[in-house]
Amino acid sequence: MDRTDIVYNLAEILNCDARKYEPLNKHTTFKIGGVADTYVKVTSLSKLSAIIRECRESDIDYMIIGNGSNILASDDGYRGVVIRLDGDFRKISLVDDDTIYCGAGASLAALCKFALNSGLGGLEFAWGIPGTVGGAIFMNAGAYGGEMKDVVYSVNHLTPEGESGRIEKDGLDFGYRTSVYRGNKAIITGVTIKLKKDDPENIRAKMDDFLGISSSAVLKDTRTATLRLAKSTRALL
Ligand SMILES: Cc1cc2nc3c(=O)[nH]c(=O)nc-3n(C[C@H](O)[C@H](O)[C@H](O)COP(=O)(O)OP(=O)(O)OC[C@H]3O[C@@H](n4cnc5c(N)ncnc54)[C@H](O)[C@@H]3O)c2cc1C
């Protein structure tokens, strides 16, 4: 028993995956961290709002964990509620020709693949950065000269009071590995991003280049393998 039980019980009633004394080392890339009093996977905005309101009314600390790739959790664990965004928060959809809405719990990799399959370029830099979209916005993740700020149009969030809100690009205060969310304690729930129409082959080639897989090297290898196969089967003389 501890103070977070009230939130744990609420999460159970809301049909969330709620766990007591969950080791944080299971949820951080560096496999470190003691137990969180309560850990909850929240699947919808209304459930998240209910849980945040309960934390506020009962004066219980909470924190959001994404993929845990930028968190060094203490061996002492966390005396509060650790929240992971799941379910609806992993959804990605096309808003119009060049605009995508993505839930904050989706992985950056899933968003990059969605953009590739939609023939939308501009996010290639993010291919290979581990983490969720929420975590990437929180710290304006970037690589190879690109940053989230280059593609973000607006961000949806839930305030510490449990109210929905939205901040347009100009108000997001993006800087080097930082955003307005480092200071305002709101939970990022989703992001609208604007990209540019491009040929999926170009997008794929840029993603491969950024990962260090030179597309020309791959092509060369493929060509050599095809020639070898053709010779061995006497298709080429
Ligand atoms: C091998 C490796 C390579 C990396 N390469 C890069 C790189 O090239 N570029 C780069 O920028 N980073 C890089 N990182 C760091 C990390 O991938 C990024 O910081 C990533 O954006 C973190 O996302 P996450 O979901 O793992 O966030 P977490 O580590 O889970 O959380 C990070 C912070 O964001 C907050 N947060 C997470 N989700 C939300 C939300 N929905 N609302 C509010 N706050 C939230 C958390 O509370 C925490 O304070 C790398 C990390 C590793 C381990």
In the chain, domain spans: 5-87, 91-197
91-197 CATH fold? 3.30.465
- CB of 154 sitting under 6 A from ligand 1: no
> Which residue type, as a one-letter code, is found at position 123?
L
Cα(102) to centroid of ligand 1, in Å? 16
Cα(93) to centroid of ligand 1, in Å? 22
Given this model, what pLDDT does residue 212 score? 77
Cα(101) to centroid of ligand 1, in Å? 19
Cα(129) to centroid of ligand 1, in Å? 9
Please check whether residue 157 is in contact with residue 187, taking contact to mean a CB–CB distance below 8 angstroms: yes
Weakly modelled stretches of the chain, pLDDT under 70: 213-237
- CB of 129 sitting under 6 A from ligand 1: yes
Given this model, what pLDDT does residue 233 score? 42
Please name every residue paired with 233 in a beta bridge, in sequence order, or none if there are none.
Answer: none
Residue nearest atom 51 in ligand 1 by C-alpha distance:
69
Domains 5-87 and 91-197 belong to one CATH topology: no
Cα(130) to centroid of ligand 1, in Å? 7
- CB of 155 sitting under 6 A from ligand 1: no
Class of domain 5-87: alpha beta
Backbone region of residue 72 per phi and psi (left: phi > 0; alpha: psi in -120 to 50; beta: other values): beta
Given this model, what pLDDT does residue 1 score? 86
The structure's pTM equals 0.91
- CB of 69 sitting under 6 A from ligand 1: yes
E-strand spans in the chain?
A: 17-23, 35-42, 62-64, 78-85, 92-96, 99-103, 120-121, 142-143, 146-147, 152-158, 164-168, 187-194, 196-197
Please check whether residue 40 is in contact with residue 82, taking contact to mean a CB–CB distance below 8 angstroms: yes
CA dist., res. 49 & res. 37, Å (int): 20
Given this model, what pLDDT does residue 220 score? 54
Residue nearest atom 7 in ligand 1 by C-alpha distance:
129
- CA neighbours within 13 Å on the CB side: how many for 52? 25
Using alpha carbons only, how large is the chain's radius of gyration in Å?
21
